[in-house]
Amino acid sequence: MIYNLDKINEMADGDEEFIKSVITVFLEEVPQDLAELEKELGLKNYDSVYKLAHKIKPNVDLLGMEQSRAIALQIETLGKKVENTSEIDRLVPMLKKDVDQVIAELKNDFSL
C-alpha cells in the first residue's frame, strides 16, 4: 500500500462518511487532472503542466503518498521554470503509475 489515511483520519475525527467522500473526490478528480497533465505535456504547454502538478500535489499529500507528492513537486518546479523538460517527460509516467496503483487499491479497499 503506497497510501495512508492518517491525515484524513485526523481531519475526519471518526466520520467514516467524510473519509469516503474525500476518497471519492480523489478518485474523480485526480485521474482527470493526470490525463489533462499528460495532454498538456504532449503539447509542451509547461504553464499548464506546472498548474496541474500544483493541483495534484495536495491531493496525493492528503492520502499520505509521499513519493507521489515529491514527484508532483518536481514536475511543478520544473514546469514553472520550463527547465529540464526531459526530466518532466520522465517523471509524469512515474506519477501516473503511482496514482493508478493507489486508485486500484482505494477502489478495492473501499469497495468503490
Instruction: Output the average pLDDT for the chain.
Output: 95
Burial class (CB in 10 A: 0-12, 13-18, 19+), 72: buried
pLDDT at 1 over 80: no
Q: How far apart are CA 66 and CA 48, in angstroms?
A: 23
Q: How far apart are CA 49 and CA 46, in angstroms?
A: 5
Instruction: Identify whether the C-beta of residue 5 lies closer than 8 Å to the C-beta of residue 63.
Output: yes
Model confidence at 83, pLDDT cuts 50, 70, 90, reads confident
- The arrangement of secondary structure in 6-109, i.e. its CATH architecture, is Up-down Bundle (1.20)
What pLDDT, in 10s, does the model give residues 25-77?
999 999 999 999 999 999 999 999 999 999 999 999 999 999 999 999 999 99
